[in-house]
Amino acid sequence: PVANLAPISSRRPINTRDDSLTTHHQTNTHQILIQTTRATTASYTCHVLLAMAAAAAIASSTKEVLPPALGAVSEPPPLFDGTTRLYICYICPFAQRAWVTRNCKGLQEEIKLVAINLEDKPAWYKEKVYPQGTVPSLEHDGRVTGESLDLIKYIDTNFQGPALLPQDPAKRQFADELIAYADAFTKALYSPLISQVAMSDEAVAALDKIEAALSKFSDGPFFLGQFSLVDIAYVTILERVQIYYSNLRNYEIAKDRPNLERYTEEMNKIEAYKQTKNVPLALLDAAKRHLKIA
């Protein structure tokens, strides 16, 4: 051992604890644990970002041509012929969730879009595709799956592409909690608009809850630090309420909420999401028609 090469006068008794070596060992162990954790996080982040970048590169080189919305007199596609189809409405925030998920996983070729005009809905959609008559719905493997929060998980689980939920148990648990809260958040923010009041304590509390949630993990600006299904669950709602409250209530939802402001900026850099965005005026007009917001 190296210690035995020291002069006899400087040697410590063999049964005496070497605190310096112990401390050094503990420090190294701690550093290894930190590095391992960082490596795991970096690996997940790198995997997601590289895969999304590849999907974005493909999309940008062959920009997707969006199909026209089908109305009451439109013929249906050849249903249940083995083609996987995602039925959406371009202005619907819930359909947009599934659309963003599809794009994030690079499934533009594998999952074909079918746009439905909800104001002039074809009868065959409810009769032959999805009895609930709502969007989104996914025609896959001979059956149809609906409900946006269930559907984004289904697409993430059953198709190839970057995994949009991390393996880390703490992040996975927080993801489940936030996705479960998404419907309540939507109701809290939409209720004052529909009832035509300026604002409500429930809406403010919901926004504050989101602001706090965005600070839970420090390894990125998103809900789980890195981009995930949780962001897809919330961003389409946040996109709309920001427009509605700013234009109709003179209230900026990101004011005095720096995490939400940064989050919005970073989300708007994600190509898979940007491809699905509508112009603000179109969303505002649609809300006034469908929700009677004034």
For the segment 157-182, what is each residue's pLDDT rounded down to a tens digit?
999 999 999 999 999 999 999 999 99
CATH number (domain holding residue 132) = 3.40.30.10
pLDDT the model gives residue 196: 85
In terms of domains, do 142 and 194 share one?
no
What mean pLDDT value characterizes the chain? 85
Per-residue confidence band for 117, with pLDDT thresholds at 50, 70 and 90: very high
Q: How many domains does the chain have?
A: 3
Q: Which of 158, 184, 202 is the last residue of a domain?
A: 158
Per-residue confidence band for 152, with pLDDT thresholds at 50, 70 and 90: very high
Contact 230, 178 (CB under 8 A): yes
- Quick one: tokens of 86? 């995602």
Range in 81-85, 175-179, 237-241, 287-291 the model is least confident about? 287-291
Q: Whole-model pTM?
A: 0.80
Q: Is residue 4 part of a domain?
A: no
Q: Which of 125, 158, 191 is the last residue of a domain?
A: 158
Q: Is residue 1 part of a domain?
A: no
In terms of domains, do 35 and 128 share one?
no
Contact 183, 207 (CB under 8 A): no
CATH number (domain holding residue 218) = 1.20.1050.10
In terms of domains, do 193 and 262 share one?
yes
In terms of domains, do 184 and 152 share one?
no
In terms of domains, do 134 and 179 share one?
no
Per-residue confidence band for 29, with pLDDT thresholds at 50, 70 and 90: very low
Domain of 146? 84-158
pLDDT the model gives residue 63: 77
Q: Is residue 78 part of a domain?
A: no
Per-residue confidence band for 52, with pLDDT thresholds at 50, 70 and 90: low
- Single-letter amino acid code for the residue at 16: T
Q: Is residue 10 part of a domain?
A: no
In terms of domains, do 116 and 200 share one?
no
Burial of 116 (0-12, 13-18, 19+ CB in 10 A): buried
In terms of domains, do 149 and 174 share one?
no
In terms of domains, do 148 and 173 share one?
no
pLDDT of residue 20 exceeding 70, the answer is no
pLDDT the model gives residue 292: 79
b/e code 79-89 from CB counts within 10 Å (16+ = b)? eeeeebbbbbb
In terms of domains, do 179 and 255 share one?
yes
- Report the distance separating Cα 233 and Cα 252, nearest Å: 21
In terms of domains, do 154 and 176 share one?
no
In terms of domains, do 208 and 144 share one?
no
